[in-house]
Every structure is written in C-alpha cells, then in structure tokens.
Amino acid sequence: MNSRIILMKGLNKMKIGFLFPGQGSQAVGMGKDLYEAYEEVRNVYQKVNEITGIDIAKVSFEGPEELLNTTEMTQLAILTQSLAIVELLKKHQIIADRMAGLSLGEYTALITDEVIDFKDGIEIVQKRGKIMQENLPEGNWKMAAIIGVDKDAINEICDETNGFVKVANYNTIGQIVISGEESAVREASDKLKTKGARKVIVLNTAGPFHTEKFDLASKKFKEELSKISFDNKDSKVIKNLEGTPYMKDENIVEVLSNHIKSPVKFTDCLTEMYKSGIDTFIEVGPGKALSGFVKRMNFENNIRILNINDVNTFKSAIKELTGKEI
C-alpha cells in the first residue's frame, strides 16, 4: 500500500487535506485501470472530451509520450485524472477540509471546491496549457530539483550563474526547484553540488516555468481569465503565491495570471494546511511526489499520508479511511 501511517485516528476526528499534482507527474498509461474499473471515472473523461474535443483518455493511456508531454496535453491529462479520483472519493463521502495543488494542481483544487465551474475549469486549463506552449520563449530550457541546500544559498548561486536561472518552486523543506536556460541550470546545479546538495534531479519539463520569462503568457492568460466567472468565497484552497487561503474578496484573475510567472511556495501551503489542523494528507492524482514533500516537512504532530493514483491505492485508501473493503 502506497501510504505512510504514522498514527491511527478515529474517523470522526480526521481533518483531511487533498493535494493535487502538477506538471511532471505524467506517464503514459496513467489512470487507465481506474477508467476501466469505475463508471464515475469514465464519465469525467467523457465530459472533458466533450468540452475540449480532445480524447484525453487515449492520449493518457496510449501516448505517445511526446504528445502527452506537450504542455497542453500534460496539464489536461493530469487535471482529468485527479478530478476523476475526486469523484470516487465523493462517492465514499470523503471530502477535504483544505486543499492545495502544485502549480497546475491549484486549478484542480479550485474546481473541486467549486470556485471555478467544472466546464470553465476544463476550458481555462486547456487555454492555459496552450498559451504556455505557444508563448514558450525560444531557447533550451530545463528545470532541476535541488535537494539539501537552503533557499538563500540557492538564490545566491542563481544570481551569480551565467545565463538565466531562477527559483521556480519551494517544494518542501530541503527541496527547491530551479528553472531557466539549460546551460545555466546545469552550471548552477554543479555549483550547488559543491555547496552540499545531496541530489540534483532534472525534471521532465521543458520551459522556464514560474519565472518572469512567462510574462507574455501571463498577460495573454489574464485576458482569458477575465472572460469567466468565479465563486468568490472563503475557500478551502491554499494559494501557491502566498501559502494563504483564497478569500471572498480575492482578485482571482490577478492571482492566477501572476501564478504562471511567480515561484510556487508549496512549503508554505503545506505549513498552512498543517496549522489549520489537517492530520490526513491525501495526494490525489498521478505520481506520489507530494506525499514525499509532506514527509520531509517534519511536522511535530503525528499525521497520516496517503496517495491515490490507481485502483490498488484507491482501494487501500478507502479501507484506511473508512474501514470498508471495496
């Protein structure tokens, strides 16, 4: 079972937090067994097909990898699988008290909390992926996760490296992602190894995401965001920009347009969820990176961490959360 149980708690005392993955967690075949096993999942994929005109099930399950890894398809595929799993959890009365998503995953959270209507959400994510893909600056770009060096040292190395490289994601304690020109990312990575980095992981992405290089994409996306309506309310969703909840007076268009070109402060999101009383974190969607982020946070109180990305992990989570076999 892909879970880490630190302490068993009574079901009536649980405070649940959903975590939704972002770009980089995709893989050909993702979600296929869930699609084959559950009508609720098939319904979500069908709705996305009807809204976008894209057979995202075929792209997700069959690829080819080059197609799935395009920004537009990646974002739509991850979003669809995550939302399909949410529908399964709803069927078993498993509802989140707080939610956060890594980059793209914030849209999954906003749709789940009904801040964004399902149809509008699918359409805006499709447009987001397309705008980011079409406005990718020319050049060779890379992102790399740096493990074991503090943020001040990483920012200092980025500033003194030749070429463009910036911090893009503050993922968790001891893990920060840098983004920029491939040569600069590699140079900064080598320098950080001499500063004590335990590991450098080159990510499965090809753009200077969450940096000012996406300023033009941010402006174009803002125009699209302005065309849809939002349910402005005190939301369960924690923002990447600040690590604070969306509030009813939030300028959501401004937040989400800046989101593309600003660093993701996921460490702050996790801290906010923990401070709000979340004791059960459930990663919903492909991969299990976010579960690892929670483990590295070294929260003082005992917590439970689950991830759901296929039939086996779904069944295990339901048993863990409800005590029922399905």
The set of catalytic residues is 103, 210
Q: Which residues are CB-contacts of 53 (< 8 A; sequence separation ≥ 6)?
A: none
**DSSP secondary structure string for all residues of 240-266:** TTTSSB--TT--HHHHHHHHTTS-EEH
Query: C-alpha dihedral over 148, 154, 156, 159, to 10 degrees?
Result: 150
The DSSP bridge partners found for residue 147 are 175, 199
Task: Give percent helix, percent strand, percent coil of the chain, each to the nearest 5.
Answer: 50, 15, 35
Q: Would you list the DSSP string of 72-121?
A: HHHHHHHHHHHHHHHHHHHHTT---SEEEESTTHHHHHHHHTTSS-HHHH
Strands 16-20 and 98-101: parallel
62-69's contacts with Cβ under 8 Å and 24+ in sequence apart are 62/28, 63/28, 64/28, 65/28, 68/26, 68/27, 68/28, 69/26, 69/204, 69/206
CA trace torsion 25, 89, 129, 242 (10° rounding): -80
- The answer to whether the Cα torsion of 253, 254, 260, 265 is positive or negative is negative
CA–CA gap between residue 47 and residue 157 (Å, rounded):
46
- The amino acid at residue 18 is F
